[in-house]
Structures are given as structure tokens and as C-alpha cells.
Amino acid sequence: MVSSKFNIPAVLVGLLLAIPALAAPAGNIEENSLKAEDIIPREYIDQVLAYHEAKRQVEARAEWRNAKRALHALQKRVPVDNHCEPEDEWVSRRCTSDISAQAYEDECQTPDGDEYTEPGHCPQNTVCQDIEIPNGTDPGTGEEIFIDDILCVPSTPPRQDNISRKRQYGYRSVTASSSKKQIVSIPVLVDNPTSSVSASILGNDRSFDILPASTLTANLRGFQLNLCEQEPTNQQKNSRMCIPKLPNHNLRNGQFIDFTFGLSGLQEGFFFYSIA
């Protein structure tokens, strides 16, 4: 069987997914099959990456606050992204929830002592949260000094599993472990007699760069049935993509698909899957 190559606008991908694949001998792999990141809505992948990037920033800020509290630093921290004029002093930052859940304002002071505010906005998929930052102690009273600041806290996290008609897709966060083989178990949530299964492990820095220690595969729990296999061109058996394996599969609600792979060193990223 000669695989077909698709060269069409992305908006037509959804229409192709509704067309049952032609029958093929068991064990055949479509070399030009659409990968998981081609099938899953791009805005969903972007939402997942944006949410976890914002979460990492919040965690980094929390670590900084704890370190500063321990050091009792006297120097005020000035946000590098503050909106004050270069010659003016940044005083504080507060959320302005009356404008929007993401809005905040910087309080600034000129060399002459005049104060003014400049607006700012938290990134997409976050909300503004007021906090107090330890800023050393008062030399006279010994009391701890705080300044007003904010955190752009991730809003509602993306759904891990999404359903649309006979289509299911989602993600899980993954990180290297002491075990050479990891398992991500995904519940089948919709009946589909012509299911095509694919998956990808993507890096967490939007570069998609990640190199598994062992290749990504998938099996239907309780059956000796491979649902997808590594890229045909991968000879090192460390593929980060699991390509649909023909013929398509009759999957039922309540079954489980066990995806297996391995990550080495300090690798971490996101596992995306598609059942379409």
C-alpha cells in the first residue's frame, strides 16, 4: 500500500479525521500519518505550554521571596518589567480588579516626590493576585517591612482530557524518573470503532526538543495489541512520537491505553495524545 501524502490547509485536517482509513495489513505503519501535534488543536497545545510556563514563574517568585525573607535584605526589589519612567522610582504594584482579572498598576515616584501610576497586564491564562514582599526590617523598630507587589497566577489549568464527538485528546506532565520505562495510562472516554491512536512527547520550552531514552509506544490494556509505534525512520528506538498503526481499532469507553516510554537525565516535558 502506498501511503498518501497530505498537502492541504490545516483547517481541513478535521474533515480528514472523519474519513475511515483504508484497510491495511496488521502491523503496517502510515509513514505519512498525521502526528499528535498535527491533530490536536494548536491553541490547546499553546494553552498547556503557557499555563505551565506561568506556573514555573510563580514558583520561581515564591523561591525568591523565601530567600529574601531569610536574608532580611534592605534593598527594595524593583521589577524589571515595571512601567515607570527610567529616571523615576518604582514604589509598588497592585492589582486593579475593577478593570479586569489580569490588570494591575505600578506606583511610581519622580525625583521631585510626585507620584503617578502606570497600567500593566498579566499574561494570557493568568490572573492578578496581590502579595506582600518582605523588604528587610526597620532599623528603628526592628519590625519587618513589606512592599506591595503582585503575582500573575495561572488561571484554570487546561483540561487533561478533552472529548469532541468520537475524538479524544489531552496531555500529561512527564519528567525523568529512576525507572527506565514510564507508563502513562489514558482512559478511553468515547466509543469509536475506527480509532486511530497517536502521541508525542514535547519539550516544555516550546522548542519541542526532547530525546527519550526509550521509544514511545502504546498498548490496549488486557490485549496484545499495539495501537501506535515509533517513527519508521527512527533506528535508535528513542522516538518521541507514536505514529498510528493500521488497521484502525475498535475502542470502547472504559478501556485503558498504556503508553510507555523512558526519559533520561533531567528531561521533562509534556505527553500529548490523540484518539480520533
Q: What CATH number is associated with residue 224?
A: 2.60.120
- Whether residue 21 is found in the same domain as residue 87: no
What domain count does the chain have? Answer: 2
CB 144 within 8 A of CB 134: yes
Cα three-residue angle 53-57-61, rounded to 5 degrees: 170
- Whether residue 36 is found in the same domain as residue 169: yes
Which has the closest alpha carbon to 159: 201, 119, 189?
189
C-alpha cell recorded at residue 259: 503508553
Range of the domain at 120: 53-154
Does some domain include residue 2? Answer: no
In this prediction, residue 117 carries a pLDDT of 97
Region for residue 210 given its phi and psi (left: phi exceeds 0; alpha: psi -120 to 50; beta: otherwise)? beta
- Whether residue 170 is found in the same domain as residue 235: yes
CB 71 within 8 A of CB 133: no
- Whether residue 133 is found in the same domain as residue 68: yes
- How many other CB atoms are found less than 10 A from the CB of residue 207? 8
The residue from 133, 154, 175 where one domain ends is 154
Does some domain include residue 118? Answer: yes
Region for residue 137 given its phi and psi (left: phi exceeds 0; alpha: psi -120 to 50; beta: otherwise)? beta
Residues with pLDDT less than 70, the chain: 1-37, 61-78, 205-211, 234-238
**pTM: predicted TM-score of the whole model, two decimal places:** 0.62
Q: Which amino acid is at 199?
A: A
CB 172 within 8 A of CB 252: no
Helix (H) or strand (E) holding 94, with range, is strand 89-95
- Whether residue 93 is found in the same domain as residue 164: no
- List residues bridging with 245 in a β-sheet: 29
In this prediction, residue 34 carries a pLDDT of 60
- Whether residue 168 is found in the same domain as residue 271: yes
- Whether residue 124 is found in the same domain as residue 219: no
In this prediction, residue 147 carries a pLDDT of 85
pLDDT per position as a tens digit, 129-168: 898 877 778 888 888 888 898 888 888 888 999 998 778 9
- Whether residue 208 is found in the same domain as residue 268: yes
- How many other CB atoms are found less than 10 A from the CB of residue 23? 10
| Beta strands at 256-262 and 182-187: parallel, antiparallel or unpaired | antiparallel
- Whether residue 61 is found in the same domain as residue 142: yes
In this prediction, residue 203 carries a pLDDT of 80
- Whether residue 116 is found in the same domain as residue 15: no
In this prediction, residue 201 carries a pLDDT of 87
In this prediction, residue 73 carries a pLDDT of 43
Residue with cell 509505534: 229
CB 169 within 8 A of CB 212: no
Does some domain include residue 125? Answer: yes
